[in-house]
Structures are given as structure tokens and as C-alpha cells.
A and B are shown apart, each in its own frame.
Chain A
């Protein structure tokens, strides 16, 4: 690990842009925050607002070709992205990337994109409105093993730049940086600790997770909750760890030069037909079962054992988007109070 001090962040942005396509969260004219590619010399200020969509589509594409069939044989169609940097990822989204790195470790499509990416994390020094990252060990400070470079805002608009691995160190090569004093790391720890203290009381989430894993929540409770699930897939689309997908084929080209593409696309376990078989046998035909299955996947102890953490990173996007008001905060409060 190396630590540096930087006065002007735009120097780092410009340096990285010489090697990578640089993506950063930008606020658009409609007050929406989203990941956008930056033109060279644009040097947008670094925002600490969580974007509406996480960075998962950079690696696990919402819609992509897996292969083509030319009438004779099948050919893999791996993506070939140019090197890119995600600049200013918050810790919750970085934790989700680590989670998906583990889940998709043997998936060639995910890895083809992931190998091309440099992750630059940004510490949160103030709690956000919906987040509870500290409750689920996903923030507010960037975890060392989740980013190649970590940025930490200091006083006087200065930045602490921390490289966590060889990839991060190599990316900074050629940039003139002043080495920082180690005591600034201690200051970082104190700032992050204070930020954790400033979060609202989320103990109802911890208690609800225990209750969820006790196996004592009744089917009728889940059914009551599921009345409010519209099956819109808002939660699964925005959830940075959700990874379920469907596949299908389309035919493209002229009749003489026909090519069949097999594609995969994001799916949602909250759709009624998600598990329905051709015979119409459906193990999750009951909406309560689907809602339970989703939350079990986020907080079930058996998944914790597999991934060494919860499937939820505490970003709170599901709460923000759910039209039925059964996002994470609402669900966990109801489990805690009434289940």
C-alpha cells in the first residue's frame, strides 16, 4: 500500500484518461445521477451522491450476445472493451462488485469486461439518506480489497490517494505525487469512524436478519407483504448484487445470410413466470414465496456462508425505487415489528 497527497484531483483524472476511458457519476439536467464517460479535459468534480444505477452493468451487461450460430457451428462472442476506469465508486457499490467478482469468477463474459477495468473508490465521510452500509460491513470507508485506488477527501480540498495493489500502483506511474504522512491514514480512520457513528439507528435491520434466519416467519406474513409487490423488477434491476438472467435467441441478417444470436438479459425472481416450467409447474407461483425467496437471497445465512457476507450491501436503492413500499427498510421494519 502506498499513500499520497494530491492538491488537484483533475491531474489524476487527466493522467488516467491518457490510459483509460474514464467514467464518473454526473448529475444531468433532470437532477439524475448516473455513470457517464468523460471527455478528455472535462475534469468533472467528484460527487459523493449515490447514482441511481450501480456499476453492475459495466461487467454484467443488461443485455448481451453470448454466441452466434451460422447454420454450421456455434461461436462465442466475447466482449472486447477498451481499458476503462470507474472513477469515484462508493464503498457499497465496490463491495457489490467484489461480491459479483466472486459469483461470476468463471464467467468469460463478465471477466472479459472486468479485466479491463480499474476501480477507483471514494470514501463516504457523511451518511447518505437511505444507506446502511456500516450495518452490513460494506462501508462507509472503501474496503482495501475492493478497489485498486482509494480516494479520501481531506480538509482544504486536498485528497489522500491510496494504492491498494500493483494494478493501482501501475496506473499512477508517471504522475507526480507527493508521498503522504502515515498519520493521515489515522485521520482517515477517525473520519470514517465518525461517519459510522453519524448513521441513523439501523439495529432493526440486524434484528430482522436474525428473525429471517430463524425460519419462524409464516407464509401468511410473506403473502401479506407480497400484496404490495407489483412484480415490476425495480429492486432487482437496481440492486447491485442481483445477477439472475434469462436467455433467448434472435435471428438477424437477410434470408441468404442468416445468423442466429443467443443472448442473455437481466431477469427478475419477482416475475411470476421466473421459475415457471414449460409444463406450467411453477415452484414459486405464490407471490409470497417469490418475495421471501428474494430476501432470503439477500440475508439468508446459507448465502452468508457461501460468500462470507450478506447479499445486501446497504445502498438502499430498493427502498427508493419500490412503488409498493417494500424496499429494504420497510421490509425489515415490518419483519422486526410484526413477523
Chain B
């Protein structure tokens, strides 16, 4: 039977990170406990150790309800995990006024994440827009850790404006290891672009980024606004990357995360179960035949 019941978690800490966004740290309570009392009441009910990059969890803010968020760092041996959360609707607004130490709930991990095994030896271009960088954080960390001498990893990160950029610490860390292109939709008049920055969207610098690969990029990973992803995917295909090697992470409203509530399906594909990561090959079929 499916388990709809969250595990209890503690809101451990957070840091502000970009406009109306925070990087939250949570901790699963009773993570490694297994005595009878804990089994009965609050021992973990979900397989947190299995979490993969690109998977998500349902955060339960008890007075409001549940919503889906991705891990920027999946649960470690102490049951601690992180998520980047932007204040958007009722649930996140309620979350943003909660103090550290508050008890919340979480279910997960859910869905199909990035195809880590398939891509681990490829030349990879990653294209992220806005909050779309969040589901890629854990993956980029893993890829950088295992990067070989012959392998290239490039990130294009687009944001609406300089203050809207997220995950500053992570990008600074990655900058030491990989090439990052930054794009900004809107610029202040006085703002002077840095060397790795340009005005526009990630799609605008895509050809340049691909041309600068020593050996051609073979795999692309995309997450951000759907219109941007579709346009980038088409351009990637034109540049010779096959549609089964282009992967997109899709966002949909979800209430259950287990394929029952009906909110997230695209044609017969449930984003919660079959996604949120789809290849462009799979998604094109769904997009062309779905309302």
C-alpha cells in the first residue's frame, strides 16, 4: 500500500538566497531509530537513503498542506537535507514565517531523477533558468566530483536580474571547476556586465557555449521555464544532440506525488511518477498529443 503519511522533520536553519528565496536545511527526526515506540509513532516511513539527484519530496507545513520541492542536497547519514524554496504561494508564505526548530513533515523521495548512470561519462551542457537550477545542484556536485580529464561540463544559468540570481555559493564553488555562462533578462542602467555575463536568455548564448566545447557536447540537461526549455531543446537538436540525450525536468502542481490526484498528468504520463525528468524524445510525443 502507498504511504501518504509524512515523516516528521525539523526546520534546522535557512539562509536568504536571492529575491524572496531561501536555502533551507531540514533534519529527519528519528532517522536512525528503530525501537518499538518509534516504529509506532514516528520512525521514518520512507526510503530517504535512496534519494537521487532530480527527485523531489513533498514538504508538509501542517497548518497549510503539502507541496513538491526538489532536494539540493538529499538526506545524509544524519538525515539532514536541503532545499531551495522561493516564497510564492500560501504554503511557502507560511513556511517563511516559521522559526528555526519548527516541526514539519516530509514524504519522499519521489519520481524519476536525472539519468546519472547514462550521462556520467558524457560531455554535458546544462541549461537552467531561475529556480530551475535547484534540481540540478546535487547532480552538478556529483558530476564535478567524478569529472574525468577528457570530459567537459558547462553550465548556462539565466536569471531575470542580478538580484534574482539564486544559489550564489554553489555557483562560486562550481566556477572553480567548470565554465559557467550567466545571462540576465533585465539590467540596471549602471550595471556593467562581468566577463562571463551577457544580457538575454540562456538560449541566446547556447550556440556560443556549444561552439566552445573542445569535443562536441553529447548530452544536455535542462530545467527552467517550459518555453525556454522547449526553445533550447529545439536548438540543441539543430546542433546535433539527439532528442534521447536531451533531458528536461518538468514542474507541475501535485497533491499526492504517487500518481493518484490527477493534477500533474500530461496525456498518460504522470509527472510525479514518470517524471519529473523526461527526455526530449519522450516529451515531444506528449506535448504534440496533449492538451
Contacts and interface: CB of A to CB of B under 8 A. Distances in A.
A275 B63 contact: no
Contacts of B6: 67, 74
Interface string B255-291: 1101011111011100000000000000000001111
B4 A66 contact: yes
A165 B60 CA distance: 42
B64 interface: yes
Interface in A160-177: none
A73 interface: yes
B260 A243 contact: yes
**Most B-side CB within 10 Å, residue of A67, A276, A289:** A67
Interface residues of A, number: 51
A231 B176 CA distance: 53
B263 A244 contact: yes
Nearest to A263: B65
Contacts of B103: 71-72
A276 B267 contact: no
B194 interface: no
A251 B63 CA distance: 7
A244 B60 contact: no
Nearest to A66: B4
Interface string B214-230: 00000000000110000
Q: Is the interface of A mostly helix, strand, loop or mixed?
A: mixed
B252 interface: yes
B-side interface size class = 35 or more
Given A278-B89, A300-B268, A249 B62 contact: yes
Contacts of B258: 106
B252 A275 contact: yes
B267 A244 contact: no
A244 B261 contact: yes
Contact of A276 (B253, B266, B289): B253
A306 B3 CA distance: 23
A302 B291 CA distance: 14
B267 A107 contact: no
Given A74-B8, A247-B261, 17 more contacts: A67-B5, A72-B103, A73-B8, A76-B4, A103-B260, A108-B3, A245-B260, A247-B66, A262-B62, A262-B65, A267-B263, A269-B262, A276-B253, A293-B290, A296-B267, A302-B268, A303-B268
Interface of B: 1-8, 41-42, 60, 62-67, 88-92, 103, 105, 225-226, 251-253, 255-256, 258, 260-264, 266-268, 288-291
What 4 pairs across the A-B complex have the smallest Cβ distances? A278-B89, A244-B262, A302-B268, A292-B291
